[in-house]
Structure 1
């Protein structure tokens, strides 16, 4: 989930509406994104009958800023022996940057700078690139 400033910079105001949360009779929550998020293949933080809504565990989101805050950056546990994989992709599916940073620790409820990305400049830069970040627990090689 991007930060709220990114959503405001890349979507029209009607895309700033946070998802609706419909409580189902079995106690699970169905997440209904706005039409723009749905079109962009929004992945909800719940799966009815399988996973309770992860956002609402942090309280009901009041607005876009609160929703984005509650979606990726907090944990109540120290994360040790972590690795992050960063790659940059263009619309043709070509990877023009790839780097792995290993063996760092992240404290709970904090922002931890891991690295500064030194992406090479190109004379023939494309208009759109995608940044893919994967956070791994090295002890079991699982993506968080």
Structure 2
């Protein structure tokens, strides 16, 4: 996998794209870095696909993604734990542009802040070639 320099860098202070109840309505929107089209994806669908996609990558690709976005890594019970900027759970996954076939690597921080209050923060984006 080749990852371009991120066109959206992580920030611990970035405002959320979603903060509240009814997380099934949360929408992730980015502009394609290939053709400029606005790409939208349901946050829960992205999180579901991204978790599995990231786990199935070779170790060196996972490590490169974590380094690219500057996430901290700690360890728990012998397993690496990736920490998202601003707290929460990081999700890394692809978003494909249907018009120009550009693949974007998205870094989304998604977590339950309080009971039934969910927060989603778009923390990073870069073009990739798989």
TM-score bucket (shorter structure): under 0.3
Instruction: Please say which structure displays the higher CA radius of gyration.
Output: 1
TM-score w.r.t. the length of structure 1 is: 0.23
TM-score w.r.t. the length of structure 2 is: 0.25
Which structure ranks higher in relative contact order (CA pairs < 8 Å, sequence separation ≥ 6)? 2
Higher strand share: 2
